[in-house]
Amino acid sequence: MELNNSEYTIQGLPVEDIANQFQTPLYVYDADKIVSQINTLRNSFSGVNLRIKYAMKSLSNLSILKLMKAHKVDLDCVSIQEVLLGLKAGFPKERILFTPNSVSFDEIQEAVSLGVVINIDNIAVLEHFGDVYEGTVPCAIRINPHITAGGNAKIQVGHIGSKFGISIFQMSHVKKVVESHNINVVGLHMHSGSDILDSEVFLMAANVMFDCAKDFPNLQFIDLGSGFKVAYKEEDIVTNIPELGKKMSAAFKEFCKSYGRDLELWFEPGKYLVSESGHLLTKVNVLKHSPAAVFAGVNSGLNHLIRPMMYDAYHHIINVSNPQGPNRVYDVVGYICETDTFGYDRKINEIRVGDILSIQNAGAYSYSMASNYNSRFRPAEVLVYNGEAHLIRERETLEDLTRGQVDIFSNINIESSEEIVSTEE
């Protein structure tokens, strides 16, 4: 989103025009930003066979998936439903990685039948996998490197207390299971968390993986997950992708030389690819003055964007309608019957009832985590592509809320009980 001649635009389109055309609340994504992020990541690595696996849990709209596919990005899926959506979007099965956690073995078997790459993060499941497939189906193994990294504690997944991955302290056990069940391990995987600033964290984790790799002679890839930090504020420090690419490329080439052949290097960015492309457009319903704050109440809430409430995440807020107005201080709050504050004590150009506010960095883990809490409809989604705004998801209706519900009383009479009135003499 750019400010041009006192007007916010996306690919030259006035943001207010988009809001008026499709109504609010509305998610809007900039395809050019997504493509730019893909190119930056790909161009930062040199001399290695890099595969980008988009973490589709961050934003799983079919149009977004097809945009990724068109730019030769693969998929990282964490549920069988994501796998099915990926296949529906046209991804070849061999370009889909399935990394489940705490799922039934039936789900893993369904993924095997679909032909996608299976990634296992539990020794017991690995043994079961070996019993069932007896070396006929290759798999990858997710390792927990015990490296604490990332922002909020809820998105740190590589520490020793995490439910994700098989501990590096259990690798001798893993080796025995692999050998006794004749399991063909073709990949090693790890993911430490999100919002990782320091490229040295990735290099540290990579060295753990490289050390483990010597026990698996049939590897085809090393997957280092993701967690790249993006900017939520102007002054935010972000992951230096070119620096990471330069250092990691050199380290990976050295590893491949010692391993004896070239492998593929995989990363699984989600937030990095789509976060900054997304904007949640909301309309100001009310202004409320209290002794403690001035509240700007908008027609959205934690049902549409839960990250500020769940992770204490910061999302920059812009007054699209009044970009030249004097700065005032507001608490921007939602319309849900819970405390759903998008931002406390924010300096924003003067807000008036009816103004359009844009909540920035709303491309990742935003719509995909939305709900119907308070029986509110989820918003529409729009993708700006080649200078045109395209509707890629319709706004929900009452029929969407009741779809799947069964009204047993449409054919059954409800017996009413008479009110019992007690009197005291």
Residue 81: give its domain's CATH number. 3.20.20.10
131/129 Cα distance (integer angstroms): 5
Q: Does the pLDDT value for residue 309 go beyond 70?
A: yes
DSSP 376: P
Which among 207, 225, 123 has a CA at the least distance from the CA of 166? 123
Indicate whether 223 and 299 sit together in one domain: no
| The pLDDT value given to residue 154 | 40
| Extended beta strands in 62-216, E state | 74-77, 96-98, 117-120, 139-144, 166-167, 185-189
Q: How many domains does the chain have?
A: 2
On whether the CB atoms of residues 59 and 274 are closer than 8 A, the answer is: yes
Report residue 204's pLDDT band, with 50, 70 and 90 as the boundaries: confident
Report residue 224's pLDDT band, with 50, 70 and 90 as the boundaries: very high
Q: Does the pLDDT value for residue 67 go beyond 50?
A: yes
| The pLDDT value given to residue 174 | 95
Residue 294: inside a domain: yes
Domain boundary among 239, 273, 307: 273
| The pLDDT value given to residue 164 | 82
Q: What is the mean pLDDT of residues 303-327?
A: 96
| The pLDDT value given to residue 145 | 86
Domain boundary among 224, 245, 273: 273
On whether the CB atoms of residues 15 and 358 are closer than 8 A, the answer is: yes
Q: Does the pLDDT value for residue 193 go beyond 80?
A: no
Q: What are phi and psi of 264, to 5 degrees?
A: -90, 145
Q: Annotation-wise, does 311 bind a ligand?
A: yes
Tell me the CA end-to-end span of the chain in Å, nearest whole number: 75
Q: Annotation-wise, does 338 bind a ligand?
A: yes
Distances (CA, A) of 197 to 224, 229, 239, 250, 298: 15, 6, 5, 19, 33
Mean pLDDT of the chain: 92
Q: Annotation-wise, does 270 bind a ligand?
A: no
Catalytic choice (139, 212, 256, 337): 337
Q: Annotation-wise, does 328 bind a ligand?
A: no
Indicate whether 261 and 349 sit together in one domain: no
Q: Annotation-wise, does 385 bind a ligand?
A: no
| The pLDDT value given to residue 129 | 97
Indicate whether 268 and 309 sit together in one domain: no
Domain carrying residue 66: 31-273
| Residue with more model confidence, 127 or 203 | 127
| The pLDDT value given to residue 135 | 85
Q: What is the mean pLDDT of residues 28-38?
A: 98
Tell me if residue 337 is catalytic: yes
pLDDT (tens digit per residue) in 323-352: 999 999 999 999 999 999 999 999 999 999
362/383 Cα distance (integer angstroms): 13
Indicate whether 185 and 268 sit together in one domain: yes
Q: Does the pLDDT value for residue 267 go beyond 50?
A: yes
Q: Does the pLDDT value for residue 194 go beyond 70?
A: no
Indicate whether 264 and 279 sit together in one domain: no
SS3 content of the chain, % helix, strand, coil (to 5): 35, 25, 40
Residue 337: inside a domain: yes
| Residue 316 belongs to domain with CATH number | 2.40.37.10
Residue 322: inside a domain: yes
Residue 103: inside a domain: yes
Residue 158: inside a domain: yes
Domain boundary among 241, 273, 305: 273
